[in-house]
Structure 1
Amino acid sequence: MSESSDPQSGLSNLLHEERRFPPSEEFAAAANYSEQAYEEAAADRLAFWETQARRLDWETEWSQVLDWSGAPFAKWFIGGRLNAAVNCVDRHVEAGRGEKVALHFEGEPGDTRTISYAELQRLVCQAANALTELGIGKGDRVAIYLPMLVEAVVSMLACARIGAIHSVIFGGFSAQAIYDRVLDADATLVITADGGYRRSSVFPLKPVVDEALAKFEGDTSPVRHVLVVKRGGNDIEMTEGRDLWWDEAVARQPEQHQPEFFDSETPLYILYTSGTTGKPKGILHTTGGYLTQTAYTHHAAFDLHADTDIYWCTADIGWVTGHSYIVYGPLANGATQVIYEGTPDTPHKGRFWELIEKYRVTILYTAPTAIRTFMKWGEEFPSKFDLSSLRVLGSVGEPINPEAWMWYRRVIGGDRAPVVDTWWQTETGAIMISPLPGVTAAKPGSAMRALPGVEADVVDDQGQPVPNGGGGLLVLTQPWPSMLRGIWGDDDRYRDTYWSRFAEQGYYFAGDGAKKDDDGDLWLLGRVDDVMNISGHRISTTEVESALVSHPSVAEAAVVGATDPTTGQAIVAFVILRGSAADGGAEMVTELRNHVAKEIGAIAKPRQILVVAELPKTRSGKIMRRLLRDVAEHRSIGDVTTLADSTVMDLISEGLAAKGGKAAED
């Protein structure tokens, strides 16, 4: 395309993806779902959700599927009673599958545990009895600050079993983050560990909890007890009367526990996510609708065959992906899965592929950031291991660019495993938009269309649907079972944050931008915050990143908008180059700028391209674009405590200083 072409048509070039990957006839014939699922959901959406709910065990069935009269506060499966832990554990044991493996645990140092459903039931019952002994009951809040251990799964299920509300805090968060969450939820118990393993060393957890609780003045802390799992072996202090070792408090408990069944709308968990005001938002999920949709979407989007599949989601339980697709969805479906404590490069960069070979993993669910990191490391690492067991690949967390999608399919999936690029959020609770691997002719980089039972659209600023080929704001037009039931303790914030933008239409605004291609399939463009306004044209950071990564010399890219006196915002790109390309200097930067102009249009040509060795990422693998904006706008660097490696920003700043504070630009 010439640089004088219409920029809006140029920006859509990336979405004119000609490659198609339909499922094989053999895969489609054995798949859990067919095109008929879309037809059934379209004919009677609520009846479709009832069918999915009946995949669970209910003590009492509902009298009404949906009550939307109090919109935007929904109630699903009204009058129904169930227990999430019973559905995830007990019912499989009672059905004679107690000896089936539930969890293959692999610690970073190489220690392992294999937990059957019968053993998981015993562990959950003991933990439930221990929580009860500590005075925890229905509606009480329990903060969980643990590494990826079996005890993390057990803790969540034990809370669910007794009707307590768990609030999992990612094991890399700071004392201030713990304090904020404990305070907001009024948590009376914290479950933690002495430490956990990360990159061959022990990182402390209990000392961080101690620091957090010390922030409460006098006797104002709501926390009565701290349960501590022995893992790291690091020295810690135990406060008499408050702190208890998990082994001593749990192991002596009876292995039986009589579960109580709870109303469908009983709160299950609070999960805090960042907010624009700085105060974390406590996303509230309840039991019946959430469990219905996580179990259904796990069964559908990954084509799970529980009797034969070995499933591995590489997320941490501290994020919603870990809640929905490690704990509740897979276990409700009776799956066998791998959980791994450590990082993908410890003790070597082939660790993930080694585990896939070891456990014969058939379904892998990971993040685009991880995939791009693997691309940067090179094909030699996965090529050393037998990955032929893989039959479905999943992507989660952010839009995946087409080149990463193709690499994932070719190198990891052997050019035969379907790739399901899933879109959803902490707030939605479960997958909303995704290919169905036995149905969809997938397009690299596209999440395709809403799953059966889900209603999504792309609208303009006035809430009007955009035509095929157009872009705008992603909305959900009908309530769904796993939707958040509010923000903990702040109903007004819930309305304002998610429902005020299109209050007239009654749409939930997801905060993400999207485009429809000429077929009406959806391409996610990331947060609207990550949409730049260049000379009046809305350009997604994802589009520019995809263009950069499509160049053979680029391993990874992150793009931000920086204030510009001429254009309002200008594009600043940070790129990691492959191998020898890193020596290309100014010529390579010029080549990349021209490449973006060729792929998208002159309007999207970056003002600056900064070559870096690493990008700042959180421990969950998300790029911290906020910090890159600080660099691009020559501001002091903000808080780096959530970064996996806080030295990355020092390296970037030093690299810029060595270049005189700027990089190649016009």
Structure 2
Amino acid sequence: MQAHQQSSRKRYQESYRQSIDHPETFWKEQAARIPWFTFPDTILAWDEQQHARWFVDGEMNICHAALDHHVDEGRGEQTALLWDSPVSGQKRRMSYREMRDATAVFAGALRNLGVEKGDRVVIYMPMVPEALIAMYACARLGAVHSVVFGGFAAHELAVRIDDASPKVVIAASCGIEVDKIIPYKPIVDAALTQSTHQPDACVILQRDACLAELSDGDHEWHSLAADAEPAACVSVKATDPLYVLYTSGTTGKPKGVVRDHGGYAVALAYSMEAVYDMAPGEVFFSASDVGWVVGHSYIVYAPLLRGCTTVVYEGKPVRTPDAGAFWRLIEEYRVKAFFTAPTAFRAIKKEDPEGTHLAQYDISCLKNLFLAGERLDPPTYHWLNKLLERPVIDHWWQTETGWPIAANMMGIDPVPTKAGSATFPVPGYDVRILDPDGEEAGPNIQGSVVIRQPMPPGCLTTIWQNPERFHKAYMATFPGFYLTGDGGYFDKEGYLFVMGRTDDVINVAGHRLSTGEMEEVLGAHPAVAECAVIGIRDALKGQVPVGLVIPKDGFDGDTLALENELKQQVREKIGGIAGLQEVLVVSRLPKTRSGKILRKLLRTIADGEEYAVPSTIDDPGSLQDVHDSMRERALGQAEQARQR
């Protein structure tokens, strides 16, 4: 085993060192593995603000690389897409040829509406095959798509329409949830009423669950496509924008991350082999949504660039119909690699803590489980490791980077994992840990996680219509480095531990403490399904930590005793300075639809400040639960003080 570990480390180090010391050579080799119309002579260039630009004189089209190329190579009958929708009771399978043809026809339909290279198209769709077809159709024409998560509030859709100024808006008539149907057309109409910019047309995909009433300027998807001629792929520069994706939780002026065609295609194709260990013809399942970066990268583009089959799932990890939903999909579609967020498995663990549903399914096809989107807490990591007896890979990346920054490189040669660590930086990413003065921190010392320029291909190239904001937000704090906004450290073996956003570090009586460390302690308790720790204002200490925990289903113990046990565990594991002011047992926590706990919002509630319900929230009622729990505890403390 030790010899294997040394060999693995050596293979990784050779690849990594080449990518850092000779980035142009490394990425030229990777670029040669995807199809180009004109292969680039200039691999790396720098703009006027010294930001990296890749393959600047190359020409290609990501739709051609992901669809037409595979058909041209004789693999048109291979399955490209598997759609599984337990909420609608429907399933669908599409070959590469069928995907190519449907995309070409819909691109022709968009062209008939006047969409040309460089135009923007806003897409407001649920998890249906047509969402992918719409995205690829835009790419085929050289148009820039901006996908907004289906169901976002009208105001949030409106500000994105104003920022992207689309020629066309594409939407479905509705989205289908576990227990309700959400009509989309009224939301689109309300957004257009609020927005200054008005598109030339709207295209509506009618779904039987809720048909939309069409108005002047609206076009029904299938009727529009019936009159269209297939459109060929337009040759675009590698640096031309492919999409604008607005980061979740934005307020005021939205922050639109811009991704290009060429660098993105090269990076994604590389990652599918090097990180995810996927070969053409194999099945990749990412349980995300096309509205998020994971959906863009690892549902829509990366699997098809690699010649794999992608699973498009319109359902939840639980309640569609139960906590065995993922296992059913893996067995049915013979999934080799599965990718989701840790919060999905915390939901499964809450409903099925012993993993009994797994016994009903044969998932021998599954080789690797990948988790990202938020930190994989060690208790969930250990639960999955024991349950699955196969690699559980915590890897770390961001909307801004578009593909993993750190991971266990399963396609190069995997190394042993460590709970709480995303393993090593991925080739191309020169990751450093800096202290507040910009000096590099030593092993096991926490600081700001940054990436030395050049950023590798596939990362954001700018903020839509706001290059100054891009530079100020990401590049100005530490000149020559990209600021991730996360804190963390390297251990002595070079494993990277990302502990969470730097604003999740709290200052207790002059001591800087990571809320992620405290969450590890709380989450390790056998009665806890999920937890969050936040820092709230304190007149004496500046801030004090407060924990919120969700018990596992079936917990029938004394909640006060549980709260006291958890506070004691934090004192024992971290020390008295980290002593939790309070631990509150709650029924649910406010999260975004992508599964991230809204910690900043929790702090606002705890500090008694006014707050607005964000458009990204998945369950607005969870805010009231937390608010009521905090108010009840505060009243109880006031009564105790009065009696004393």
Same fold, TM exceeding 0.5?
A: yes
Mapping of 1:245-284 within 5 angstroms?
245-254=220-229, 256-274=230-248, 278-284=252-258
Alignment-mate amino acid for residue 273 of structure 2: H
**Among 268, 276, 296, which residue is 1:302 paired with?**
276
The C-alpha deviation readout for 1:495-535, integer Å capped at 9, x for no partner, is: 111111112xx111111111111222110011112111112
Instruction: Report how far residue 614 of structure 1 moved.
Output: 1.0
Mapping of 1:167-316 within 5 angstroms?
167-216=146-195, 220-240=196-216, 242-254=217-229, 256-274=230-248, 278-307=252-281, 309-316=282-289
Return the alpha-carbon distance in structure 1 between the equivalents of residues 612 and 116 of structure 2. Answer: 40
1:138–1:163: 8 Å Cα contact kept in structure 2? yes
Of all paired residues, the percent bearing the same amino acid is 38
Match of 2:55 in 1: 77
Instruction: Report how far residue 232 of structure 1 moved.
Output: 4.7
Return the alpha-carbon distance in structure 2 between the equivalents of residues 523 and 232 of structure 1. Answer: 47
22 and 152 in structure 1: CA distance in 2 versus 1, 3 angstrom threshold: farther
23 and 340 in structure 1: CA distance in 2 versus 1, 3 angstrom threshold: farther
Instruction: Report how far residue 277 of structure 1 moved.
Output: 6.1
What SS does the corresponding residue of 1:136 show, helix, strand or coil? Answer: coil
The C-alpha deviation readout for 1:396-434, integer Å capped at 9, x for no partner, is: 1011111211222222xx21x222212111111221111
The answer to whether 1:433 aligns with 2:406 is yes
Return the alpha-carbon distance in structure 2 between the equivalents of residues 69 and 279 of structure 1. Answer: 25
Match of 2:74 in 1: 96
**Among 10, 20, 25, which residue is 1:47 paired with?**
25
**Among 53, 58, 65, which residue is 1:87 paired with?**
65
The answer to whether 1:452 aligns with 2:431 is no
The answer to whether 1:593 aligns with 2:571 is no
Match of 2:93 in 1: 114
Return the alpha-carbon distance in structure 2 between the equivalents of residues 526 and 86 of structure 1. Answer: 38
The C-alpha deviation readout for 1:381-409, integer Å capped at 9, x for no partner, is: 33332222210110110111112112222
1:23–1:439: 8 Å Cα contact kept in structure 2? no
1:357–1:386: 8 Å Cα contact kept in structure 2? yes
The C-alpha deviation readout for 1:88-131, integer Å capped at 9, x for no partner, is: 10111111110110111011222101000000000110011011
- Using structure 1 for the length normalisation, give the TM-score: 0.91
What SS does the corresponding residue of 2:133 show, helix, strand or coil? Answer: helix
Match of 1:621 in 2: 595
Tell me, which stretches of 5 or more residues in structure 1 are unaligned? 1-20
1:609–1:663: 8 Å Cα contact kept in structure 2? no
The answer to whether 1:424 aligns with 2:421 is no
Match of 1:133 in 2: 112
**Among 140, 143, 147, which residue is 1:164 paired with?**
143
What SS does the corresponding residue of 2:486 show, helix, strand or coil? Answer: strand
**Among 302, 305, 313, which residue is 1:340 paired with?**
313
Return the alpha-carbon distance in structure 2 between the equivalents of residues 522 and 476 of structure 1. Answer: 13
What SS does the corresponding residue of 1:244 show, helix, strand or coil? Answer: strand
306 and 35 in structure 1: CA distance in 2 versus 1, 3 angstrom threshold: farther
121 and 566 in structure 1: CA distance in 2 versus 1, 3 angstrom threshold: same
1:23–1:418: 8 Å Cα contact kept in structure 2? no
510 and 72 in structure 1: CA distance in 2 versus 1, 3 angstrom threshold: farther
**Among 555, 559, 562, which residue is 2:529 paired with?**
555
Tell me, which stretches of 5 or more residues in structure 2 are unaligned? none
What SS does the corresponding residue of 1:37 show, helix, strand or coil? Answer: helix
Alignment-mate amino acid for residue 186 of structure 1: S
451 and 160 in structure 1: CA distance in 2 versus 1, 3 angstrom threshold: same
- Using structure 2 for the length normalisation, give the TM-score: 0.94
Instruction: Report how far residue 71 of structure 1 moved.
Output: 3.2
What SS does the corresponding residue of 1:96 show, helix, strand or coil? Answer: coil
Match of 2:477 in 1: 501
What SS does the corresponding residue of 2:393 show, helix, strand or coil? Answer: strand
Instruction: Report how far residue 184 of structure 1 moved.
Output: 0.6
Return the alpha-carbon distance in structure 2 between the equivalents of residues 661 and 605 of structure 1. Answer: 21
Return the alpha-carbon distance in structure 2 between the equivalents of residues 130 and 600 of structure 1. Answer: 61
Instruction: Report how far residue 201 of structure 1 moved.
Output: 2.7
What SS does the corresponding residue of 2:406 show, helix, strand or coil? Answer: coil
1:313–1:325: 8 Å Cα contact kept in structure 2? yes
The answer to whether 1:474 aligns with 2:449 is yes
Match of 2:628 in 1: 654
2:249–2:616: 8 Å Cα contact kept in structure 1? no
Return the alpha-carbon distance in structure 2 between the equivalents of residues 363 and 24 of structure 1. Answer: 23
Instruction: Report how far residue 601 of structure 1 moved.
Output: 1.8
2:140–2:232: 8 Å Cα contact kept in structure 1? no
Return the alpha-carbon distance in structure 2 between the equivalents of residues 60 and 236 of structure 1. Answer: 44
The answer to whether 1:331 aligns with 2:304 is yes
2:116–2:142: 8 Å Cα contact kept in structure 1? yes
Instruction: Report how far residue 650 of structure 1 moved.
Output: 2.1
What SS does the corresponding residue of 2:73 show, helix, strand or coil? Answer: helix
Return the alpha-carbon distance in structure 2 between the equivalents of residues 22 and 392 of structure 1. Answer: 21
Match of 2:123 in 1: 144
1:459–1:465: 8 Å Cα contact kept in structure 2? yes
Match of 2:436 in 1: 461
Hey, which bits of structure 1, 4+ residues long, moved more than 6 A? 21-25, 663-666
The C-alpha deviation readout for 1:166-189, integer Å capped at 9, x for no partner, is: 000011311001100000111111
User: Aligned-pair RMSD on alpha carbons?
Assistant: 2.3
**Among 362, 373, 389, which residue is 1:386 paired with?**
362
What SS does the corresponding residue of 2:356 show, helix, strand or coil? Answer: coil
What SS does the corresponding residue of 1:64 show, helix, strand or coil? Answer: coil
The answer to whether 1:56 aligns with 2:34 is yes
2:123–2:134: 8 Å Cα contact kept in structure 1? yes
2:206–2:212: 8 Å Cα contact kept in structure 1? no
The answer to whether 1:442 aligns with 2:417 is yes
474 and 662 in structure 1: CA distance in 2 versus 1, 3 angstrom threshold: farther
Of 557-566 and 377-386, more deviation after overlay is shown by 377-386
Q: Number of paired residues?
A: 631
What SS does the corresponding residue of 1:654 show, helix, strand or coil? Answer: helix
